[in-house]
Amino acid sequence: MDWSIPSNERRAWDRRVPYYLRIRDRFAALIEKGSLLPGTKLPPERELRDQFQITRVTARQALTQLEAEGLIFRENRRGWFVSPPRIQYDPTANVSFTESVLAQGRTPSATVLSTERMIASARESQFLDVEVGDPIFLIQRLRSIDGRAVLLEHLHVNAERCPGLLGLPLDRSLTELMSEHYGISEYRPHINMRPTALAEPQAQALGVSPGAPSLYLSRIIYDQFDSIIEFDQEFWRHDALEICINVHHHLSPVQAEGVNNSHDDMPETLR
Amino acid sequence: MDWSIPSNERRAWDRRVPYYLRIRDRFAALIEKGSLLPGTKLPPERELRDQFQITRVTARQALTQLEAEGLIFRENRRGWFVSPPRIQYDPTANVSFTESVLAQGRTPSATVLSTERMIASARESQFLDVEVGDPIFLIQRLRSIDGRAVLLEHLHVNAERCPGLLGLPLDRSLTELMSEHYGISEYRPHINMRPTALAEPQAQALGVSPGAPSLYLSRIIYDQFDSIIEFDQEFWRHDALEICINVHHHLSPVQAEGVNNSHDDMPETLR
DNA sequence: GAGTGGTCTAGACCACTTC
DNA sequence: AAGTGGTCTAGACCACTCC
């Protein structure tokens, strides 16, 4: 395949556009046009180097740029691939990861990486309504969509409220387990999010290179008695999700229903 | 100043840690410890090269990593600086940028970059409850915190609902203008966010290098009659904000008050 | 004009994946 | 064993900022 840039696709303000941005543009156009489908493997960096007559450093700069935009991703030492569509996710809704992924016609899965019963330190007690020294559970799970790991979870649970939790099938929805086994109905009024980059251990778990861009999300979870029973930390692949929030307080139920909250069709940038 | 790495700050799993991560760690530690205050200029890349006995490419890799994490930022061709604290921002609250920045003891400002009266294309009509050909206003503003540009806004407004809007002082809160001059009270039930990277024009406006990581946020704004009057697109510097969402629906007013929604003290990563 | 970041070259060796 | 990405060297020239 010939990857070179057709003359009709050059930028209006061409001339003195850095090479790495030209290559970025080339692939961005192919991906947006649908010529490169999600999951497609890109050519090896050395092939790009030859095709475009640049050095590998420059080729990598273009690839890193596309990665930052979420158009492509890499699997450590395996290659570069076109990103699947983002999953739409509402962190304020009481809808589990599993449900919302299924609702969008994708296939979710969960792997329990580790479980641990530990004693709350000052740090955890602060977030969990427990005293220092009280028992808590720490559960680490990896969530995938269509076989691609997208989310690393660190769940901190008040152990006294759900004895025996670690013996239950933790690859299922935790919300369901809490409800079915302990009569706890969760809700999640406080959510924090910020863009960052992944440190070594999280990157490893998600199978990405350390320093890959990421969205960090934390959540304090209450039960029906307004007592904190869970504190979650989530590390998302930055290209895997689109946060869609519906605030219902002013909408009548009829209006709220059937609302499509994706602004997908609006171009994000005005290149 | 000597930037070299003291032996007691090496990682436990040292040995074969890439140079660029060691340098990252060095600066991350200094910043978290408070030895490097927000706004501090980092040494020139060439100085880092000499201090750490690496090449400039490797030095830049470390700096880019710190930038991705939000710890430092660059001003185009001026140098690298320690990032100020993130502003806490609730996109679901009807609180203006100005108000929320002031409430956190920082100084907000706004610059109008451009205003335009234009005719709705198919694209805009889809988001604004107007017909193709109806007039809309497009307003571009730059918002700053303590003199640092952090947010580029593209506001699309239904022009028929607020005639003469472009003649009003647009560096003020738009929500206030809508309320005071047109009797429109806004609310914003649909919000979309995703991490991306900035394209050339947006990067230029924010004074950052193209490709810098960013958070894109779009919003559909309704009036009190549930008709769409505004569609906003926001491009945030990724290191400038921390999204804090409070969902009130289950909380009694008493509980909702005084809730501190920052999970700040919880470490994001567990290096 | 000196200093600084932005871009780029032309190589190299290593670690890991794939076959 | 071959292929691929991950890391790194030792330079270079340019565009822009600061003085």
Task: Give the mean pLDDT of B158-186.
Answer: 89
Which of A269, A270, A271 is most worth mutating to test chain B (most B CB atoms within 10 A of its CB)? A269
What integer best gives the mean pLDDT of chain B?
A: 84
Whether residue B30 contacts residue B6, with contact meaning beta carbons closer than 8 Å, is answered with no
- Cβ of A243 within 8 Å of Cβ of B191? The answer is yes
Give the C-alpha distances (Å, rounded to integers) separating A247 from A226, A259, B94, B244: 21, 11, 11, 14
Sign of CA dihedral A267, A32, A72, A14: negative
Question: What pLDDT score was predicted for residue B101?
Answer: 94
3-class SS at B230?
A: strand
- Cβ of B190 within 8 Å of Cβ of A21? The answer is no
Positions of CATH 3.40.1410.10 in chain B? 87-251
Residue A45: CB less than 7 A from any atom in strand D: yes
- Cβ of B242 within 8 Å of Cβ of A192? The answer is yes
d(CA B214, CA A70): 11
- For strand D, list residues 136-175 of chain B whose Cβ lies within 7 Å of it: none
Residue A103, pLDDT > 90, answer yes
Residues of B in contact with A250 (CB under 8 A): 187, 189, 222, 226
pLDDT band at A95 (very low <50, low <70, confident <90, very high): confident
Residue A263, pLDDT > 70, answer no
Question: What pLDDT score was predicted for residue A9?
Answer: 47
d(CA B102, CA B96): 10
Residue B243: CB less than 7 A from any atom in strand D: no
Protein CA A28 to sugar C1' C6 (Å): 22
Which nucleotide lies nearest residue B211, CA to C1'? C6
Give the pairing of strands B87-89 and B241-246: parallel
Where is pLDDT greater, at B27 or A249?
Answer: B27
Positions of CATH 1.10.10.10 in chain B? 7-82
| Residue of chain B nearest A233, judged by CA positions | B268
Question: Could you identify the residue written with the tokens 């869609």?
Answer: A244
Where is pLDDT greater, at B205 or B269?
Answer: B205
Tens-place pLDDT, residues A151-207? 999 999 999 999 999 999 998 888 888 989 999 888 877 899 999 888 778 888 888
| Residue of chain A nearest B261, judged by CA positions | A190
Question: What pLDDT score was predicted for residue B3?
Answer: 58
Give the max Cα distance, chain B: 68
Q: Nearest C-alpha of chain A: how many angstroms from B168?
A: 26
Task: Give the mean pLDDT of A19-40.
Answer: 92
pLDDT band at A4 (very low <50, low <70, confident <90, very high): low
Task: Give the mean pLDDT of B173-199.
Answer: 87
Among the ranges A86-95, A115-124, B5-14, B27-36, which has the highest mean pLDDT value? B27-36
Question: What pLDDT score was predicted for residue A251?
Answer: 43
Question: What pLDDT score was predicted for residue A271?
Answer: 32
- For strand D, list residues 70-129 of chain B whose Cβ lies within 7 Å of it: 76-78
pTM equals 0.84
Query: What CATH class does B7-82 carry?
Result: mainly alpha
Whether residue A86 contacts residue A78, with contact meaning beta carbons closer than 8 Å, is answered with no
Q: What percent of chain A has pLDDT over 90?
A: 53
CB atoms closer than 10 angstroms to residue B136: 23
Residue B264, pLDDT > 70, answer no
What integer best gives the mean pLDDT of chain A?
A: 84
- Cβ of B194 within 8 Å of Cβ of A244? The answer is no
Question: What pLDDT score was predicted for residue A17?
Answer: 80
Question: What pLDDT score was predicted for residue B12?
Answer: 43
Task: Give the mean pLDDT of B238-261.
Answer: 64
Q: Which nucleotides of D are covered by protein (CB under 7 A)?
A: 3-12, 15-18
Give the pairing of strands B187-197 and A241-246: antiparallel
Question: What pLDDT score was predicted for residue B47?
Answer: 93
pLDDT band at B269 (very low <50, low <70, confident <90, very high): very low
Distance of CA B83 to the CA centre of its chain: 12
- Cβ of A68 within 8 Å of Cβ of B197? The answer is yes
Q: Does domain B87-251 have CATH number 3.40.1410.10?
A: yes
Q: In the A/B pair of chains, how many CB contacts fall below 8 A?
A: 182
- Give the residue whose CA sits closest to C3 at C1': B44
The fold adopted by the segment(s) A87-250 is Chorismate lyase (3.40.1410)
d(CA A182, CA B65): 44
Question: Could you identify the residue written with the tokens 């899965």?
Answer: A109
Residues of A in contact with B190 (CB under 8 A): 244-247, 259, 261, 263
Residue A249, pLDDT > 90, answer no
Tokens of B225: 């009659």
Angle between helices B45-52 and B19-33 (to 10 degrees): 110
In the Cβ-directed half-sphere of B31, how many Cα atoms lie within 13 Å? 23
Residues of B in contact with A29 (CB under 8 A): none
Task: Give the mean pLDDT of B34-50.
Answer: 93
d(CA A229, CA A135): 12
pLDDT band at B5 (very low <50, low <70, confident <90, very high): low
Q: Angle at CA A218, nearest 5°, toward A215 and A221? A: 150
Question: What pLDDT score was predicted for residue B250?
Answer: 45
